[in-house]
């Protein structure tokens, strides 16, 4: 199912389908089916009634607009759904209708339905995360020796390799994926507590039914109901927020490196991708735009969820009712950011020659630190720093290479030989531990995949 127009930049087609009306409705019905089956297993509900409830829930058609209207009036999705399901079961079997929703409360339905939707959404995210990780490993290896400007506070700095930059993205992705995996696994738990979270209406069989219900739905059974304890979901949405922020950092880097005057990277293009409605020459950073859109949208949504954690007693007034749209938006935003960056990484064009040219365009100024450290051993750091400040100003004012300016300074010539100055501006000679750091980041991610 395609997304609504207003949501088209905030989700993917597969995630839009999961959070679509029919899917949400089915998740709630799946809870009711599993509840009847579980209670039949432990001898509470007649097996014939459970079978009738299951059949009707699977086959009957529900008026979604009417349910939506009734949900607004009821203040919860469960009440009108249970009523509608009961009516439809009653039309086929009056006795079976009396067993619909036995022992459950409204929040049991809506919370567990949400968890079922999250369970379906996770493999979609994992697939795109794996695509992205694989592409980043390949990019990093391919460009481990591709030198480029380091940039600090948006200004040229000593050189790095593009392989290291990519490995930095990969490291954040790896950490974010681990965090998300743990949080998602911890959140996939059943909600079943009845009116006050004690399952009193089921007598001494409450925990047995809960375990059977969790098994029916393929969820974990928690130690106790969690109606007003939202920490597991909070951990999940916070993990989504961190991951989306890391993807946003990657998108920011790529989009900046795509600027015309920089020209070091280019997103994949193609029919209908990256164009402009007025400027035929444009190749816009669309994947980056979608990702940054998500990275800007998610943090306040996470804050909204965290604010709603302060809930009253055994059932909250307004707080948990706010969560469905918030969580759905966070998950879909995380999904669109992940899918977009996977697409960008898989087709990223790297202009290595432009990267080297941009280094050359600094006329050697980015190597001032290198000379300063050489002179500091003889003159002291403060003196060397002042000397290089003067030399760089002269280089800029005279439009000369830094090495040429330095060759004319007696203070430099007396301590640094001509051969050293001639080798000064070779970027490969001033990369420090770049490759060691790159290997460590890539190896960490690769080892984790092998362990799986």
Q: Which residues are catalytic?
A: 276, 315
- Within 8 A by CB and 6+ apart from 281, the residues are none
Contact present, 402 and 392 (Cβ < 8 Å): yes
Between the two ends of the chain, the Cα-to-Cα distance in Å is: 32
The CA distance from 91 to 183, in Å, is 43
**Number of CB atoms found within 10 A of residue 342's CB:** 22
Instruction: Find residue 156's DSSP bridge partners.
Output: 151
In SS3 terms, 214-260 reads as HHHHCCECCCCCCCCCCHHHHHHHHHHHHHHHHHHHHHHHHHHHCCC
Q: What are phi and psi of 147, to 5 degrees?
A: -85, 150
Chain centroid to CA 211: how far? 32
- Beta strands, E only, 48-187: 147-152, 155-161
Contact present, 102 and 311 (Cβ < 8 Å): no
**Beta pairing, strands 147-152 & 349-350:** unpaired
The CA distance from 17 to 7, in Å, is 12
The CA distance from 77 to 70, in Å, is 8
Contact present, 207 and 234 (Cβ < 8 Å): no
Number of residues that this document lists for the chain:
452
The CA distance from 326 to 424, in Å, is 55
The CA distance from 306 to 365, in Å, is 47
The CA distance from 36 to 117, in Å, is 20
**Number of CB atoms found within 10 A of residue 445's CB:** 22
**Number of CB atoms found within 10 A of residue 420's CB:** 14
Q: Give the H/E segment covering residue 265.
A: strand 265-266
**Number of CB atoms found within 10 A of residue 435's CB:** 15
**Number of CB atoms found within 10 A of residue 90's CB:** 15
3-state secondary structure of 196: coil
């Amino acid at each position: 199912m395609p997304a609504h127009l207003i949501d088209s930049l905030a989700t993917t087609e597969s995630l839009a389908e999961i959070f679509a009306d029919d899917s949400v409705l089915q998740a709630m019905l799946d809870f009711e089916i599993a509840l009847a089956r579980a209670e039949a297993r432990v001898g509470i509900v007649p097996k014939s009634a459970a079978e009738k409830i299951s059949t009707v829930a699977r086959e009957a058609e529900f008026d979604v607009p009417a349910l939506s209207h009734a949900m607004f009036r009821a203040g919860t999705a469960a009440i009108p759904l249970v009523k509608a399901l009961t009516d439809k079961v009653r039309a086929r079997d009056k006795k079976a209708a009396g067993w619909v929703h036995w022992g459950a409360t409204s929040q049991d339905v809506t919370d567990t339905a949400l968890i079922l939707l999250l369970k379906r959404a996770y493999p979609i995210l994992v697939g795109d995360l794996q695509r992205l990780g694989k592409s980043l490993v390949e990019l990093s290896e391919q460009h481990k020796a591709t030198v480029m400007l380091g940039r600090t506070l948006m200004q040229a700095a000593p050189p790095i390799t593009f392989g290291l930059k990519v490995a930095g993205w990969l490291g954040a992705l790896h950490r974010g994926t681990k965090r998300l995996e743990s949080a998602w696994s911890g959140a996939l738990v059943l909600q079943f507590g009845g009116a006050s979270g004690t399952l009193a209406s089921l007598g001494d069989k409450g925990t047995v039914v809960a375990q059977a219900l969790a098994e029916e739905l393929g969820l974990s059974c928690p130690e106790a109901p969690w109606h007003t304890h939202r920490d597991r979901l909070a951990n999940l949405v916070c993990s989504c927020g961190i991951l989306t922020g890391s993807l946003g950092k990657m998108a920011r880097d790529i989009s900046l490196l795509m600027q015309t005057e920089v020209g070091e990277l280019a997103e994949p293009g193609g029919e209908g991708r990256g164009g402009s409605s007025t400027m035929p020459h444009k190749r816009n950073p669309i994947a980056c735009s979608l990702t940054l859109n998500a990275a800007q949208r998610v943090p306040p949504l996470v804050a909204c969820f965290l604010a709603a954690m302060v809930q009253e007693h055994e059932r909250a007034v307004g707080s948990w009712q706010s969560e469905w749209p918030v969580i759905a938006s966070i998950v879909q935003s995380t999904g669109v950011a992940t899918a977009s960056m996977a697409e960008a990484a898989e087709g990223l064009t790297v202009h290595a020659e432009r990267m080297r040219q941009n280094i050359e365009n600094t006329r050697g100024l980015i190597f001032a630190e290198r000379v300063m450290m050489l002179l500091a051993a003889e003159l002291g750091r403060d003196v060397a720093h002042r000397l290089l400040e003067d030399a760089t100003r002269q280089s800029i004012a005279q439009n000369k290479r830094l090495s040429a300016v330095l060759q004319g300074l007696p203070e430099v010539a007396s301590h640094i030989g001509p051969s050293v100055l001639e080798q000064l501006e070779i970027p490969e000679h001033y990369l420090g531990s770049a490759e060691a750091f790159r290997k460590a980041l890539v190896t960490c991610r690769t080892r984790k995949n092998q362990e799986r």
